[in-house]
Amino acid sequence: MTTMTTAPELTYDLVQLILAMDNWSIDAPSAADRQKAQKLADELRERHLRLFHAEFTQRTSQYKAAVAELEAEVARAKVVMKDIQKLARFLESARKVVAVVDTILGHAAKIGIV
Amino acid sequence: MNRAALYLIFCASAAIAACAGPSDLQKAAGAFSTATSVTADVSLGYMNNLNKIERDGYLARLRWNPSQVISAQVLSTQTFADKDLAVRYAAIGTLRAYAKVVSELTSTESAQLVADNAKQLGAQLQDTSNKIRGLSAQTRETKLMAEFFGQLAKLLIEHKQMTTLRELVSGSADRIDKIAAHLAIDVGGAAERELARFSGVRADAVRFYNDNRTAMSDEQRRKALEEIRANEERLDALQARLHEITKLFDEFRQSHSSLNKALANGSSVALAIERTERFLQRAMDLAKPIEALAAR
């Protein structure tokens, strides 16, 4: 039975191969082998970039859909929080109005109206 | 008195209907908020530097290859397009906004503010009505009633917050998982790019030393070896970071899952105890103004 290798697994394995090839470009017994290993490591680096870049570009549309849906959920919850905050502010405003009325009544009491 | 008892029963029902207690949820929401903040910062850091990693890596290799000239085209090329990066920035921003609204919904601040304002409004109204001759006798219960309704409003607001939070978190679970999975791949890929680029630089430095060591002065050799030592340390750190990134995103997803479970699992013993304690506290808070009303 074979299992599909995912893109992240593939890029990870590719990096491990690059590290191994870079090491071989140092340790290979002949100068020719060291050069070959260096060239191969650079090619793998380029392939890793191309693979990651292609997947990165492809994922953009997948992000868009998930982000739009999450934004809609957040917006709905924000409306509820705003309504609750409005109620708190309304009571605060009411207190301010009462304070003004209180001041007026204080003056009215001084001159015997109330 | 019968009316007061009815109010108490109604409030008790509202308290029981509310899900997990705020402290339990606040813990899960706090952990999620921290996880979101760290995940967003790390993601943003890597996305901001994605093109820089490629350019810096290219320039670093030139140091060991004197025959190679600098290409202006390579320098000016944006490997990863702004439009693709912008989508990632939007995703990170939405995650932050989501964590903020979760935090607001688990906060009791607004509900408490309503209760406090209602209480103070009642006190003010009573004080004001006392200044008008003949009105004070009819409005002496104003203060107590306002306090009572403030407590009732607090319960109902918290219940509304819990309901909204439950809907938000369970409704967003799939989207959070998807965004986190995409970011994990992107950030992991960016960390891989950094490691792959640096591995080449590190190999260049060692090869240069091996090829030229006999022609170097003692001082040149000492400096070269010091650089190689620093490179090895950086390579180890970059490899460790790659594993940390995978763990970070796993933990982020787990923290959201815990929050979701805390909200969904209303039948657990711990939550039931907490809910009961919360209810009893509320019932006592409510009973005070009701008893005072009944005593008049």
Q: Is B178 on the interface with A (CB under 8 A)?
A: yes
CA-based nearest residue in chain A for residue B206: A26
3-state secondary structure chain B: CHHHHHHHHHHHHHHHHCCCCHHHHHHHHHHHHHHHHHHHHHHHHHHHHHHHHHHHHHHHHHCCCCCCCCCHHHHHCCCCCHHHHHHHHHHHHHHHHHHHHHHHHHCCHHHHHHHHHHHHHHHHHHHHHHCCCCCCCCCCCHHHHHHHHHHHHHHHHHHHHHHHHHHHHHHHHHHHHHHHHHHHHHHHHHHHHHHHHHHHHHHHHHHHHHHHHHHCCHHHHHHHHHHHHHHHHHHHHHHHHHHHHHHHHHHHHHHHHHHHHHHHCCCCHHHHHHHHHHHHHHHHHHHHHHHHHHHC
pLDDT at B47 over 60: yes
Please write the tens of the pLDDT for every residue from B111-144. 888 888 888 888 887 777 777 666 655 555 677 7
Q: Residue A49: which domain range?
A: 7-110
Task: Look at chain A and report how many structural domains it folds into.
Answer: 1
Contact predicate B48/B192, CB 8 Å: no
Task: Tell me the average pLDDT across B236-255.
Answer: 91
Q: For residues B293 and A43, which has the higher predicted lDDT (pLDDT)?
A: A43
Residue in the block written with tokens 């949820």:
B25
Mutate to test the interface with A, among B68, B160, B169, B172 (most CBs of A within 10 A): B172
Q: Where does the pLDDT of residue B23 fall: very low under 50, low under 70, confident under 90, or very high at 90 and above?
A: low
Q: Is residue A51 a part of any domain in this protein?
A: yes
Interface of A with B in 12-71 (CB under 8 A): 12, 14-15, 18-19, 22-23, 25-26, 34, 38, 41-42, 45, 48-49, 52-53, 55-57, 59-60, 62-64, 66-67, 69-71
Confidence of residue A53 (pLDDT cuts 50, 70, 90): very high
pTM metric for this prediction? 0.78
How close, in Å, is residue A98 to chain B by CA atoms? 7
Note whether residue A1 is domain-resident: no
Q: Do B203 and A92 touch (CB under 8 A)?
A: no
In tens, the pLDDT along A65-97 reads: 999 999 999 999 999 988 888 887 888 888 888
Residue pLDDT, tens place only, B187-211: 999 999 999 999 999 999 999 999 9
For chain A, how far is it from start to end, CA to CA, in angstroms? 94
Residue A102 lies in a domain: yes
Query: For position B19, what pLDDT does the model report?
Result: 42
Residue B267: what pLDDT? 42
Q: Cβ distance B131 to B279 under 8 Å?
A: no
| Out of B131, B193, B203, closest to residue A109 by CB | B131
Mean pLDDT of chain B: 82
The alpha carbon of residue B78 is apart from the nearest alpha carbon of chain A, in Å, by 11
Q: Is the predicted pLDDT of residue B266 greater than 60, yes or no?
A: no
Q: Answer whether B175 sits within 8 Å of A69, measured CB to CB.
A: yes
- Residue extents of the structural domains in chain B: 2-295
